[in-house]
Structure 1
Amino acid sequence: MKIFIAGAGAMGSRFGFMLHQAGNEVSLIDGWQDHINAIIENGLEVNYNGQEFNIQIPIYNQKDLDINSKAELIIVFTKAMQLDEMMKDLQPIISKETKILCLLNGLGHEDVIDKYLPAENIYLGNTVWTAGMTGPGKVKLFGTGALELQNIVPGFEKEANEIAEALSSAGLNAKYSDDIKFSVYQKACVNGTMNGLCTLLDGNMNEVGATSTSKTMIWKIMEEFRAVADFENINLDLDYIYDKILEFNDINKLGNHYPSMYQDLIINHRKTEIDYINGAISRKGTKYGIPTPYCDFLTDLIHAKEDLLDAK
């Protein structure tokens, strides 16, 4: 399959690497020129569960997609606040047959994508794979994961299953979902607790989870997500979500992991996706008349930290 990865950061590079190793025709697209240059000059350098790989994989700047080729599948991993610009830049490789799989963190991305191609070509997904960047052109991959996806227009279940099969053949453990919006909300709830807290408290998942106040903060945030989700007829099981958070915080699993928001802001001084996670709950809460004080405060604090670090 001819696959383009739009947004070749840590997670995009992980998917690109695994799909490339499985024999697909994969190209990366990104806007970070230092990262692009490093991959062109040195290949994509991958530490995969302690084993070193170096792969030669095409990569393009999203502003210069002069490619005589159309994508069969585009997997979108760009940052949420950059999605609209990325979709504009992707137009040269999109045909009427091109399918888009959106795997971004946060809520509401399909509303942006369907401005650029028919809704029947759009698939939403949710993934629990993790990855980290150690520098331009260098990624560290660890652990295992899975993903689920669904067509946003009824009647395209066959196509969704075909995408899932292609991803699973690369070891990405993909499956079809009957209710992807529930899964997206559920992941947003997990991210809404640990991403912001780890970033503000300067700790990994295990360190923050072990603090004396973490349980109280996590539950307050989760309750705000549930209140907003209930208004949209999405029923979140907070006991289940909390158990997943505890699992992620386990030092023997993902406890040593620093969430993507931490990597973006604290390590790379890049702006975060807070407006599409806790900020989305704040906006929805205002719209629905639901108080969301913890999400409001977390969003404001992350933006203040962005200002202090002059994040770009």
Structure 2
Amino acid sequence: MKIAIAGAGAMGSRFGIMLHKAGNDVILIDTWTDHVNAIKKFGLKANFNGEDIVEKIPIFFPEEVQDYKDSIDVVILFTKAMQLESILKSIKPILKKDTKVLCLLNGLGHEDTIEKYIDKKNILLGNTIWTASIIGPGEVKLFGDGELDLQNVHPAGKEVALEIVKILKDAGLNGNYRENVKYSIWRKACLNGAINGICTILDTNIMSFGATKVSSQIITTIINEFAAVAKVENIILDVEEIKKLIISTYDPNKIGSHYPSMHQDLIQNKRLTEIDYINGAVFRKGKKYNIPTPYCQLITELVHAKEEILGAK
């Protein structure tokens, strides 16, 4: 399969590197000018679990992908949630009738946007708990272990979904096929909802937040808000299991020293965040279902205030 990764930031770069190192035919697509130009000139640099490497992976701006209009088999989406529609519009030339699209974005509800551009039988949804950080244009830091879950949206897509799972496993990305991937997506959104916004507001890493006296009460309240809203959509979250998962991320020997992607975007790079697709999505759904979600509302509003204060774009 020829794989295009749309969104070659930290996570897109991780997947690109690992799939490329496993022998797959991979191209990267991104809109960040300095990042794209650096990779074109020097290759994609990475500190990969302590080892400095450089991978020569073709990278393009979206308007440059015309030459691949008949060759891309799978597109893996790793854009920011608020950029999803614009990237799909810009790469439309490579979205053939039978091109498969795997969405691994943070947040909730992305299938509604993707269905405007791709037949439902070609859409796969998933989520991942791999981590990565941008060091600077053309350079990333990859550390720790992770996995990802995925599932076809339409029953006709299962065979291809299993094939993609194998490709991801062979690349060391620990792909899993799940019969109810929406549970996994909500579970991941809940983890992000309990950590990303808080670490961004507090300007701290996961470990330092977890060490505070109030962290347990904060994450418990947020998890309960997610669970109450998810239940209306027939997703029953295991509150205690998710709380244990979140607490496990505090470990400095795992990802405790990691600054979440939202912190990287806003605090480190003055970029707008995905808060509207995580805590903000739960707040909006809560209003729709008449379920109070005060913590999710406050976190969303505080992150937006921080965006305004920092002049994020």
User: Under TM normalisation by the shorter chain, which class is it?
Assistant: over 0.9
Q: Per the alignment, in what secondary structure is the counterpart of residue 124 of structure 2? A: strand
Superposition pairs of residues 262-301 of structure 1, within 5 angstroms: 262-301=263-302
Q: Per the alignment, in what secondary structure is the counterpart of residue 64 of structure 1? A: helix
Counterpart Cα distance in 2 of 1:67 and 1:300 = 43
Partner of 1:40: 40
Return the offset for 1:146.
Answer: 0.7
Question: For the Cα contact (< 8 Å) 1:31–1:63, is it kept in 2?
Answer: no
1:56 aligns with 2:64: no
Partner of 1:29: 29
Deviations for 1:228-251, whole angstroms, at most 9, x for unmatched residues? Answer: 001111100110001001111111
TM-score normalised by structure 2 residue count: 0.98
Partner of 1:220: 221
Partner of 1:210: 211
Counterpart Cα distance in 2 of 1:62 and 1:304 = 31
Deviations for 1:30-87, whole angstroms, at most 9, x for unmatched residues? Answer: 0100100110111100110001111111111123333244310000000000000011
Q: Tell me the amino acid that sits aligned with residue 131 of structure 2.
A: T
Counterpart Cα distance in 2 of 1:234 and 1:294 = 20
Deviations for 1:265-311, whole angstroms, at most 9, x for unmatched residues? Answer: 00000000000000000110010011111000000000000001100
Superposition pairs of residues 54-203 of structure 1, within 5 angstroms: 54-69=54-69, 70-203=71-204
Q: Per the alignment, in what secondary structure is the counterpart of residue 66 of structure 2? A: coil
Deviations for 1:136-193, whole angstroms, at most 9, x for unmatched residues? Answer: 0000000111111000012322111001001111111101101000000000000001
1:17 aligns with 2:5: no
Question: For the Cα contact (< 8 Å) 1:47–1:140, is it kept in 2?
Answer: yes
Q: Tell me the amino acid that sits aligned with residue 195 of structure 2.
A: M
Q: Per the alignment, in what secondary structure is the counterpart of residue 249 of structure 2? A: helix
Counterpart Cα distance in 1 of 2:91 and 2:2 = 15
Unaligned runs of 5+ in 2: none
Counterpart Cα distance in 1 of 2:61 and 2:312 = 21
Partner of 1:6: 6
Counterpart Cα distance in 2 of 1:261 and 1:40 = 26
Q: Per the alignment, in what secondary structure is the counterpart of residue 145 of structure 2? A: coil
Counterpart Cα distance in 2 of 1:73 and 1:297 = 38
Question: For the Cα contact (< 8 Å) 1:38–1:136, is it kept in 2?
Answer: yes
Q: Aligned Cα RMSD in Å?
A: 0.8
Paired positions, count: 312
Deviations for 1:184-217, whole angstroms, at most 9, x for unmatched residues? Answer: 0000000001000100111100000111111111
Question: For the Cα contact (< 8 Å) 1:67–1:92, is it kept in 2?
Answer: no
Counterpart Cα distance in 1 of 2:19 and 2:68 = 21
Question: For the Cα contact (< 8 Å) 1:269–1:306, is it kept in 2?
Answer: yes
Q: Tell me the amino acid that sits aligned with residue 55 of structure 2.
A: I
Q: Tell me the amino acid that sits aligned with residue 250 of structure 2.
A: N
Structure 1, 67-76 or 128-137: larger mean CA deviation: 67-76
TM-score normalised by structure 1 residue count: 0.99
Question: For the Cα contact (< 8 Å) 1:65–1:89, is it kept in 2?
Answer: no
Structure 1, 272-281 or 91-100: larger mean CA deviation: 91-100
Percent identity over paired residues: 56
Return the offset for 1:126.
Answer: 1.2
Q: Tell me the amino acid that sits aligned with residue 38 of structure 2.
A: A
Return the offset for 1:20.
Answer: 0.5
Return the offset for 1:90.
Answer: 1.1
Counterpart Cα distance in 1 of 2:233 and 2:55 = 44
Q: Tell me the amino acid that sits aligned with residue 78 of structure 2.
A: F
Q: Per the alignment, in what secondary structure is the counterpart of residue 3 of structure 2? A: strand
Q: Tell me the amino acid that sits aligned with residue 40 of structure 1.
A: K
Q: Per the alignment, in what secondary structure is the counterpart of residue 211 of structure 1? A: coil
